[in-house]
Amino acid sequence: MIRDSQLLDQLVTTVRRFVRERLIPAEPGVEQENAIPGAIIDEMRDLGLFGLTIPEAYGGLGLTMEEEVMVALELGYTSPAFRSVIGTNNGIGSQGIIADGTDEQKQYWLPRLARGEVIGSFALTEPDVGSDAAAIKTAARRQGKNYILNGTKRFITNAPIADVFTLMARTGGEGASGITAFLVPRNSPGLSLGKIDEKMGQRGTRTCDVILEDCVVPADAIIGGVEGQGFKTAMKVLNRGRLHIAAVCVGAAQRLCDESVSYARERKQFGKAIGEHQLVQAMLAESGTECFAGRCMVIEAARRMDSGARIIQEAASCKLYCSEMVGRVADRAVQIHGGSGYMRDSAVEHFYRDVRLFRLYEGTSQIQQIIIAREMLNA
Amino acid sequence: MKVLVPVKRVVDANVKVRVKGDGSGVELANVKMAMNPFDEIAVEEAIRLKDAGKVEEIIVVSIGPAQAQETLRTALAMGADRAILVKTDETAEPLGVAKVLKGVVDAEKPGLVILGKQAIDDDANQTGQMLAALLGWAQGTFASKVEINGDKAKVTREVDGGLQTIDLKMPAIVTVDLRLNQPRYASLPNIMKAKKKPLDEKSAADFGADLKPRLKVVKTEEPGGRKAGVKVKDVAELVSSLKSAGVI
Ligand SMILES: Cc1cc2nc3c(=O)[nH]c(=O)nc-3n(C[C@H](O)[C@H](O)[C@H](O)COP(=O)(O)OP(=O)(O)OC[C@H]3O[C@@H](n4cnc5c(N)ncnc54)[C@H](O)[C@@H]3O)c2cc1C
C-alpha cells in the first residue's frame, strides 16, 4: 500500500540519489578497507535511514511494506554492506519490540533506534543451532529481579557496533514455547564479544560471537514482559524481513544488469561490441527477465501483506526466488565481464561474493522450500 | 529578514535529453524532472543563513506547471518555511519570470533574493539580472561566497580570470555558482514533514504580470557528433598542424 505516491516518489528519489552520489563512489574504499567510513554512517543517520520501518509515533517513517520494498529496491543497488548497517535497526533488531514490546520498551528503545543513536542487533543463531532455531540452548535462569544468561550466539550481524541485542534464550522446557526474547544492552555485566569473523563477502559489515557468561539482565528486559513468547515474536517479524531481503536482492540484480549492459556496450571483440553477439544477448535477456520477475513478485507480495493477507508462503517464495535469482544474475555478470569480472577492482566481483549470503541467512533456501511446501500442503 | 528563493523544475541532470521530432523543443513526456541544481545551491545557502541566525524566514517560489509543487516540496523538505506556486502552462521565459518575481518581491518584501545563476534547461542566465533591473536593486552574480553583515551583503563572484569581491547594499539580488556550497539531501523524516508546510497556489495575474511568450523558438537541434581526430607523431608536428589550422 502506498499512502501518498508523490511523497513516496520523493523519498525514493532521495534514496536513489544518495545511493548513486554517495554510496556507489564509496564502494571501492569499503572493499579496500573492509570498513564503512564513519562519515557515511553519519550521513545515513542524518538522512533518517535507520527509522524506515519504525512507527511515526516513535520518530520513524512508519513505511508500509510496499513503501519499504520500494526503498529497499533502491538500497540494494549498492554494496549490501551499506544496507546491512541499517538492516538490523529496521528489521529484526526493532520489529520484535514493535510487535510485542511493552509501552516502556517502545518509548525507550524505538526513538533511539529510529534516530540511529543506538544500533540494534538480533541474536538467535548458536554454534550448534542454525536452521533448527527452536532448538537453541542459551539458558536464562530467573534469580530474584534478574535473569542470568549463559550461552554463545554465533555470526551476529552488527554485534561489534551494537548497543542492544534482541536475544533469544531458553527460559522453559524444550521446543519453541520455552524460548524468550530479551533486550540485552551491550554493557550488561557478563556479556563479551568474540573476535570479528573473516567473511567471504559483504566487506565492511561485521559479525562476531556474542558470549554470555552469567550475564545479568533485569526481568523487565523480556520483550512484552512474558516468558515463552520469544519464538512467536520472531515468527511475527519474519515475513517483513524476508520481503525486505528479497527486494534488496532485486536491487542488486538490477545493478548487476546495468553493469553488464554498460560493459557489453563498451567491450569489443571480433570487431564489434560484445553486446552484439547473440550469446551475450541471451545472458542479458535471462538476467533482465529474472530481475523483472523478482521485482513483480516482491511488490505483489508486499501489497498483499499490507492488505492484511496471510503471506507466509509468498514471503518465503520471494526470499527463495530472489536470493537464488541474484546468484544467477551475478554469475552471468561475471561471465559477461570476462576476466575483468574476476578482478578485485570490478564491482561485479564483490557483488558475486556479497549476494551469496542472501541464500543463507534469514532462513536458508532449503528452509524457505520447506515453508512453501508446508503452506501449500496445509492449505 | 525574509529571503526569497525562486526554484525551477527542469529535466533531471542525469537524463539524456532528446530533441522532439518536429524540432520545436526537447522531449518532456515521461522524462524525470528535478530541481535545477543551481537552485538547490540557492536553497542550501538560504538555509545556512537561517542556521547562522541571519534570516528568519525562507520563502521558495516556483513559476511553472502544477507538478512544480514537487520541486517546492523538495525545497520545503530541505528546510524552507513556506512555498508559493505561480501556476502556468506557458513556457516560463526569463523576462516573464522576472516580472512575476518582482510582483512576489513587492508582496513579500524580502531583504534578499537568492537565485541560481542559470537553469540547466535553457541556460539563459538572465532572470536574476532582469529582476535586479526591474527592482532597481544591487546584484551580485555567480557567487562563490556570501556574507551578511547588517544591511550589507559581501559577495565573492567567480569572474573570468579570478574572484571579485563586492559589497551590496541590501535589499539585493544574489545569483549563485557551483562552488558556493554542497546542497544537503532532504532527510526522509523532513520530506514527510514538508507535506504539512504551507504551499500557496497563485497565478501570474495575482502579481500583476503575464507570462505570454516573448521569444520564438526557431529550431532545436542535437549538437553535431564528434568528428574524427588526427594522430600526430610528435610535438613539432602538433605545433605545425595547430598553426596550419590557424588556432595558434
Ligand atoms: C554473514 C552472516 C550473518 C548472520 N547474521 C545473523 C544474525 O544477525 N543473527 C542471527 O541470529 N544469525 C545470523 N546468521 C546466522 C544464519 O541465520 C544461519 O547461518 C542460517 O540460519 C543457517 O544456519 P547454519 O549456518 O547453522 O546452517 P545449518 O542449519 O547447519 O544448515 C546447513 C545446511 O543444511 C541445510 N538444512 C538444515 N536443516 C535442513 C532441513 N530440515 N532440510 C533440508 N536442509 C536442511 C541448510 O539449508 C544448509 O544448506 C548470520 C550468518 C551469516 C553467514
Domain boundaries, chain A: 5-115, 120-228, 237-377
Whose CA is closest to B172, among B148, B149, B153, B158?
B153
Q: Extract the C-alpha cell encoding B209.
A: 504580470
Residue pair A120/A93 in contact (Cβ under 8 Å)? The answer is yes
A17/B188 Cβ within 8 A: no
Question: Phi and psi of A209, rounded to 5°?
Answer: -75, 150
**pLDDT confidence band for A327 (50 / 70 / 90):** very high
Tens of pLDDT along A144-158?
999 999 999 999 999
Beta bridge partners of B194: none
Question: Phi and psi of A254, rounded to 5°?
Answer: -60, -45
- Quick one: which atom of ligand 1 is closest to the CA of A366? 47
- What is the rounded distance in angstroms from the CA atom of residue A58 to the CA atom of residue A6? 23
A11/B185 Cβ within 8 A: no
Residues of A in contact with B190 (CB under 8 A): 48
CATH class assigned to A120-228 = mainly beta
Rg, Å, chain A Cα set: 21
- What is the rounded distance in angstroms from the CA atom of residue A172 to the CA atom of residue A178? 4
Tens of pLDDT along B140-160?
999 999 999 999 999 999 999
Whose CA is closest to A53, among A44, A40, A62?
A62
pLDDT at B245 over 90: no
Residue B185 is nearest to which of A9, A18, A52, comparing CB atoms?
A18
Considering the domain A237-377 in this protein, what is its CATH number?
1.20.140.10
Cell numbers 569480472: residue: A341
Tens of pLDDT along B163-211?
999 999 999 999 999 999 999 999 999 999 999 999 999 999 999 999 9
Residues of A in contact with B188 (CB under 8 A): 11, 14-15, 47-49, 51-52, 61
**pLDDT confidence band for A292 (50 / 70 / 90):** very high
Q: Extract the C-alpha cell encoding A129.
A: 543451532
Residue B185 is nearest to which of A14, A51, A52, comparing CB atoms?
A14
- Does the annotation count A56 as an active-site position? no
- What is the rounded distance in angstroms from the CA atom of residue A318 to the CA atom of residue A320? 5
Q: Using a 6 Å cutoff on CB, does residue A127 contact ligand 1?
A: no
Measured in angstroms, the CA of B32 and the nearest CA of chain A are apart by 10
The rounded Å distance from CA A45 to ligand 1 centre is 30
B189/A14 Cβ within 8 A: no
The rounded Å distance from CA A157 to ligand 1 centre is 13
Measured in angstroms, the CA of B194 and the nearest CA of chain A are apart by 9
Rg, Å, chain B Cα set: 21
Q: Which residues are CB-contacts of B228 (< 8 A; sequence separation ≥ 6)? A: none
The architecture of the domain spanning A5-115 is Orthogonal Bundle (1.10)
pLDDT at B228 over 90: no
pLDDT at A271 over 90: yes
- What is the rounded distance in angstroms from the CA atom of residue A166 to the CA atom of residue A164? 7
- Give the CATH number for residue B97: 3.40.50.620
Q: Using a 6 Å cutoff on CB, does residue A199 contact ligand 1?
A: yes
- Number of structural domains, chain B? 1
Q: pLDDT at position A235, please?
A: 87
Q: Extract the C-alpha cell encoding A120.
A: 540494534
Tens of pLDDT along B29-80?
899 999 999 999 999 999 999 999 999 999 999 999 999 999 999 999 999 9
The rounded Å distance from CA A130 to ligand 1 centre is 4
pLDDT at B23 over 90: no
Helix A80-90 vs helix A230-266: angle between axes, to the nearest 10 degrees?
160
Residues of B in contact with A17 (CB under 8 A): 185
Helix B37-51 vs helix B68-78: angle between axes, to the nearest 10 degrees?
30
Q: Which residue is closest in CA terms to ligand 1's atom 17? A: A361
Please give the C-alpha separations between residue A177 and each of A94, A141, B21, B151, B203, in angstroms, as whole numbers.
21, 16, 69, 72, 66
The rounded Å distance from CA A196 to ligand 1 centre is 18
DSSP assignment string, A33-64 = HTS--HHHHHHHHHHTGGGTTS-GGGTS----
Measured in angstroms, the CA of A46 and the nearest CA of chain B are apart by 6
Q: pLDDT at position A175, please?
A: 94
B189/A7 Cβ within 8 A: no
Residue pair B217/A90 in contact (Cβ under 8 Å)? The answer is no
Residues of B in contact with A90 (CB under 8 A): none
Q: Using a 6 Å cutoff on CB, does residue A236 contact ligand 1?
A: no
The rounded Å distance from CA A360 to ligand 1 centre is 6
- Amino acid symbol at A118: V
Helix A312-337 vs helix A278-306: angle between axes, to the nearest 10 degrees?
160
Q: pLDDT at position B198, please?
A: 97
The angle subtended at Cα B194 by Cα B190 and Cα B197, nearest 5°, is: 140
**pLDDT confidence band for B225 (50 / 70 / 90):** confident
Q: Which residue is closest in CA terms to ligand 1's atom 27? A: A130
A51 vs B: CB within 8 A: yes
Tens of pLDDT along A72-118?
999 999 999 999 999 999 998 999 999 999 999 999 999 999 999 99
**pLDDT confidence band for A130 (50 / 70 / 90):** very high
Report the percent of chain A where pLDDT is more than 90.
96
Helix A230-266 vs helix A92-100: angle between axes, to the nearest 10 degrees?
140
Report the percent of chain A where pLDDT is more than 70.
100
Q: Using a 6 Å cutoff on CB, does residue A123 contact ligand 1?
A: yes
Question: Which range of residues forms the domain containing residue B49?
Answer: 2-244
B189 vs A: CB within 8 A: yes
- What is the rounded distance in angstroms from the CA atom of residue A148 to the CA atom of residue A171? 10
Q: Which residue is closest in CA terms to ligand 1's atom 45? A: A366
**pLDDT confidence band for A1 (50 / 70 / 90):** confident
B74 vs A: CB within 8 A: yes
Cell numbers 551499506: residue: A82
Tens of pLDDT along A28-38?
999 999 999 99
Measured in angstroms, the CA of B228 and the nearest CA of chain A are apart by 18
Buried b (16+ CB within 10 A) or exposed e, A155-170: bbbbbbebbbbbbbbb
Q: Using a 6 Å cutoff on CB, does residue A124 contact ligand 1?
A: yes
A116 vs B: CB within 8 A: no
- Quick one: which atom of ligand 1 is closest to the CA of A131? 29
ipTM, two decimals, is 0.87
**Distance between alpha carbon B245 and the CA centroid of its chain, in Å?**
38
Q: Using a 6 Å cutoff on CB, does residue A352 contact ligand 1?
A: no
**pLDDT confidence band for A379 (50 / 70 / 90):** confident
- Amino acid symbol at B206: D
Q: pLDDT at position A357, please?
A: 98
Cell numbers 516556483: residue: B62
B34/A14 Cβ within 8 A: no
Q: Extract the C-alpha cell encoding A86.
A: 541499517
pLDDT at A344 over 90: yes
Mutate to test the interface with B, among A8, A13, A53, A89 (most CBs of B within 10 A): A13
The 8-class DSSP code of residue B234 comes to S
Residue A14 is nearest to which of B69, B186, B195, comparing CB atoms?
B186
A61/B189 Cβ within 8 A: yes
Which of helix, strand or coil describes residue B128?
A: helix
- Amino acid symbol at B147: E
Q: Extract the C-alpha cell encoding B20.
A: 522532439
Q: pLDDT at position B104, please?
A: 98
Which of A21, A43, A362, A375 is the catalytic position? A362
> What pTM was estimated for this model as a whole?
0.91
